[in-house]
Structure 1
Amino acid sequence: MKKSPGKKEYNQKVYSLRWGQVKLIGNCSKFYPTRYHEKEMQCAGTEDGSIDACKGDSGGPLVCQDVNDVTYVWGIVSWGENCGKPEFPGVYTRVANYFDWISNYVGRALISQHNV
């Protein structure tokens, strides 16, 4: 699931929080063979490309919810090609890869078992 402010149409700003439900996509190197790095990145989107992060969404969270309704940050909107195209899913920074850095600044207690 992605929650991020964005635009409804080209050059039209949206001032309320918008969100879309997306699925995590494995093996994303098939979409971006030279730019995608599995350890640091995570792709997410829909099969038809109808829900996607786009220009202006960078830095927004990719959150997941477990079976106990615990919500946690899985990724951060990073980049993509041609917003809303199924052959180019959105690419997110994989937060788990930066746990050591995060724990140095916010403390280990704020990192949950869900993020590991």
Structure 2
Amino acid sequence: MTIKMKFKHLFLSVIIFVSCVDNSDKITVCNTINPLEELVWLKEIKIGFEQSSFFSKKKIIQYTYQNKSVFLIDICNNCADNLTAVYNCTGNVICEFGGIAGVNTCPDFDKYATNEILLWEN
């Protein structure tokens, strides 16, 4: 067998091995492994936070709510009259809390939101 043939066999073996690796142990959120980097809308929010000259505390927190992954975006943590929003996987607002008007469109969020994961904060 020539070196070229051995290399082809080795290359094919590596390809087959890599394609057979079991990734089922990785938790997927919104069909991603890393939603903060793979969901474009969420990544844009994070980048905006990182580039902001407004020095308030900001957070991005992932939860499970109503059996779905959601993301709480807090643009001014512990600020009076701050409006906090909860987004679904496609970047649509599903809930809002706070603000001057005292909005609370998901009154059961605190009770039923589970699996809290802090994805980003400054």
Which has the higher relative contact order, 1 or 2, with Cα contacts under 8 A spaced 6 or more apart? Answer: 1
Q: Which protein has the larger Cα radius of gyration, Structure 1 or Structure 2?
A: 2
| TM-score, with length taken from structure 1 | 0.24
